[in-house]
């Protein structure tokens, strides 16, 4: 099936009555849409920007139970996340993989502490365990992390967790929801919540920002899954609403893989501010992060703060020989976590706040979900739909997503970035074989091809140059400057595919140039 906006808009115009309407197209909203549609409910999802434009494409790219949450005593969240990690491997193996991590230890006590903790972590995963933690001696640590500083090094711990491509999983969730019967629409801005004579939510108004046209839809249940923007939607429901969330920023830098070494990731469990820092191989680069910086305001495209960049570089320098400098950074990016707004005490303390999610039902019947983490998106979707069924008196149906393979499902292993396409890969190869021009690279240093632009236009609902370069392929996050160099060829081919003119190309390139500035030092 073709996954297009034209088809989604056509369904909205044909029928304005829905069982469940979801606001927000990040991990949480998309997970809800898949759950709802797979149970047979008539489902519509509306995303103001592009799918996973916000926090859901800016993660540390780990599918994990949360070693740090275990240290904080949040056993319930870790158990749930470890189970969900296993289900992601089962249902979306093309965009997820097992990653080995090494924790270097500079004291006997820390080595034993982390080994015990990680053995517990393994045990909690049960039959969904993906590897066995073990002690490493000094030479084994150095062989796995050739750049690690050896002074005082006493060995380390090897453990296993998951890695994924967040934005690619998001688009696969959107495609899966559509295949299950949902209508899924990006660039759809919700303007108002509508209510009946009893002051209960019964629908909403939204604008298709691509055409400028407004739409009104009826819904038995309306779900607010907008992450850091939940308060804006809650204010459409209740004007005097007090903010539920406060953003905490997680920053990352991307560097050449030569700074880390082999295939293993680095985990630094206790940085100078008591948090965890990862160095993770990802799409041929290494991603260093993350931070946890409380902010008072939020925006859709945050930029890492200078102190965050310095913190990451300084921490890397404390552990790595020939550590990266500012000049070595290929890209920087930041995501905002929607944490519970502080009510008292230290408003700047975020590391102790549980990442578990919260479900809230307003007096009007609108359902809001906030918090959570990527790994538990499926469970969050299940619980939210269960609440929507009770709230809207929908005919109850059991959840189907535990064993539902996501779009692109394939156990075949492909080279390089082609892996993320899974079962779609033969179709992209067919494009390149039938039109040799489409086999050309979009940038000489990277193996992304013009055929991927055509595929994304026809099957992955891209509307803007950034949708492709930032999220369908990940070039903006891997090498911001290279992505800008590739932008003209991408814009020209997109215009050809989407029926746009020269003015559109000019406008898109101007927009994209502005965006790139947020990703370069």
DSSP 190-217: EEEEEE-TTS-EEEEEEEETTTTEEEEE
pLDDT at 342 (0 to 100): 56
Tell me the CB-side half-sphere exposure of residue 380, using CA atoms within 13 A: 31
Torsion sign over Cα 132, 135, 140, 143: positive
Note whether 65 and 81 are within 8 A (CB). Answer: yes
Note whether 95 and 422 are within 8 A (CB). Answer: yes
The tokens for 172 are: 């696969």
φ, ψ (nearest 5 deg) of residue 505: -60, -45
User: Domain spans of the chain?
Assistant: 5-56+167-243+353-392, 87-162+246-340, 418-518
Please name which of 190, 297, 298, 269 lies closest in space to residue 235, comparing C-alpha atoms.
190
Beta-bridge partner residues of 104: 156
Its CATH architecture, for the domain 87-162+246-340, is: 2-Layer Sandwich (3.30)
pLDDT at 350 (0 to 100): 45
pLDDT at 1 (0 to 100): 59
Note whether 45 and 181 are within 8 A (CB). Answer: no
Query: What ranges make up the beta strands (E) of 122-264?
Result: 134-136, 155-164, 183-185, 188-195, 201-208, 213-224, 245-256
Tell me the CB-side half-sphere exposure of residue 439, using CA atoms within 13 A: 7
pLDDT at 355 (0 to 100): 60
**What angle is formed at CA 82 by the lines to CA 81 and CA 84, rounded to 5 degrees?**
60
The tokens for 294 are: 């409380």
**What angle is formed at CA 14 by the lines to CA 181 and CA 386, rounded to 5 degrees?**
40
Alpha-carbon distance of 432 to 461, in angstroms, equals 20
For residue 246, the Cα-to-chain-centroid distance in whole angstroms is 19
Q: What is the pTM (predicted TM-score) of this model? A: 0.96
Residue whose entry in the numeric block shows the structure tokens 């800016």: 58
Radius of gyration of the chain (CA): 23
Note whether 147 and 320 are within 8 A (CB). Answer: yes
Which three-class secondary structure state does DSSP give residue 481? helix
pLDDT at 271 (0 to 100): 85
Interacting residues of 233 by C-beta distance below 8 A, sequence separation 6+: 23, 190, 193, 224, 226, 368
Alpha-carbon distance of 134 to 57, in angstroms, equals 32
pLDDT at 344 (0 to 100): 46
Interacting residues of 209 by C-beta distance below 8 A, sequence separation 6+: 48, 187, 188, 189
Give one DSSP letter per residue of 83-130, joined into a string. HHHHHHHHH-TTSEEEEEEEEEESSHHHHHHHHHHHHHHHHHHGGG--
Fold of 5-56+167-243+353-392: FAD/NAD(P)-binding domain (3.50.50)
Which three-class secondary structure state does DSSP give residue 288? strand
- From first to last of its 521 residues, the chain has per-residue pLDDT tens of 568 999 999 999 999 899 999 999 999 999 999 999 999 999 999 999 999 999 999 999 999 988 877 777 788 888 999 999 999 999 999 999 999 999 999 999 989 999 999 999 999 999 999 999 999 999 999 999 999 999 999 999 999 999 999 999 999 999 999 999 999 999 999 999 999 999 999 999 999 999 999 999 999 999 999 999 999 999 999 999 999 898 999 999 999 999 998 799 999 988 887 778 999 999 999 999 999 999 988 999 999 999 999 999 999 999 999 999 999 999 999 999 988 765 544 444 444 445 678 999 999 999 999 988 999 999 999 999 999 999 999 999 999 999 999 999 999 999 999 999 999 999 999 999 999 999 999 999 999 999 999 999 999 999 999 999 999 999 999 999 999 999 999 999 999 999 999 999 999 999 999 999 999 99
Fold of 418-518: Helicase, Ruva Protein; domain 3 (1.10.8)
pLDDT at 352 (0 to 100): 40
Domains 87-162+246-340 and 418-518 share a fold: no
**What angle is formed at CA 180 by the lines to CA 231 and CA 423, rounded to 5 degrees?**
105
């Amino acid at each position: 099936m073709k996954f297009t906006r034209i088809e989604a808009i056509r369904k909205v115009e044909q029928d304005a009555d829905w069982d469940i309407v979801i606001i927000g197209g990040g991990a949480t909203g998309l997970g809800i849409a898949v759950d709802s549609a797979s149970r047979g409910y008539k489902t519509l999802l509306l995303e103001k920007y592009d799918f996973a434009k916000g926090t859901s494409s800016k993660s540390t790219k780990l599918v994990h139970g949360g070693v740090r949450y275990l240290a904080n005593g949040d056993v319930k969240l870790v158990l749930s996340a470890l189970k969900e990690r296993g289900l992601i491997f089962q249902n979306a193996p093309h965009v997820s993989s097992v990653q080995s991590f090494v924790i270097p230890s500079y004291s006997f006590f820390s080595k034993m502490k982390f080994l015990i903790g990680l053995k517990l972590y393994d045990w909690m995963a049960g039959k969904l365990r993906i590897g066995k933690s073990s002690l490493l001696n000094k030479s084994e640590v150095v062989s796995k992390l050739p750049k690690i500083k050896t002074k005082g090094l006493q060995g380390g711990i090897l453990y296993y967790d998951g890695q994924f491509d967040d934005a690619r999983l998001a688009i696969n969730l959107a495609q899966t929801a559509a295949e299950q019967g949902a209508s899924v629409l990006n660039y759809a801005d919700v303007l108002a919540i509508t209510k009946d004579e009893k002051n209960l939510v019964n629908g909403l108004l939204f604008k298709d920002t691509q055409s400028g046209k407004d739409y009104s839809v009826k819904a038995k249940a309306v779900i607010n899954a907008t992450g850091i923007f939940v308060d804006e939607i809650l204010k459409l429901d209740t004007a005097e609403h007090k903010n539920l969330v406060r953003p905490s920023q997680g920053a990352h830098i991307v560097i050449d893989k030569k700074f880390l070494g082999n295939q293993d990731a680095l985990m630094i469990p206790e940085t100078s501010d008591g948090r965890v820092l990862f160095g993770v191989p990802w799409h041929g680069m290494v991603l260093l992060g993350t931070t946890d910086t409380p902010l008072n305001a939020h925006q859709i495209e945050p930029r890492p703060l200078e102190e965050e960049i310095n913190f990451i570089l300084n921490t890397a320098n404390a552990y790595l020989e020939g550590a990266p400098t500012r000049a070595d950074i290929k890209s920087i990016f930041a995501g905002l976590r929607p944490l519970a707004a502080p009510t008292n005490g230290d408003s700047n303390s975020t590391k102790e706040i549980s990442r578990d999610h919260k479900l809230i039902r307003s007096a009007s019947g609108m359902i809001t979900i906030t918090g959570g983490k990527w790994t538990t998106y499926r469970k969050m979707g299940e619980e939210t739909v269960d609440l929507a069924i009770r709230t809207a008196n929908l005919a109850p149906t059991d959840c189907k997503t535990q064993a539902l393979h996501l779009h692109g499902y394939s156990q075949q292993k492909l080279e390089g970035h082609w892996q993320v396409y899974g079962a779609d890969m033969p179709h992209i190869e067919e494009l390149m074989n039938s039109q040799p021009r489409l086999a050309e690279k979009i940038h000489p240093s990277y193996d992304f091809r013009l055929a991927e632009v055509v595929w994304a236009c026809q099957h992955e609902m891209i509307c803007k140059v950034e949708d492709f370069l930032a999220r369908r392929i990940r070039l903006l996050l891997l090498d911001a400057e290279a992505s800008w160099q590739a932008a003209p060829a991408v814009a020209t081919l997109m215009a050809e595919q989407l029926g746009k003119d020269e003015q559109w190309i000019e406008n898109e390139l101007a927009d994209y140039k502005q965006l790139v500035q947020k990703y370069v030092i």
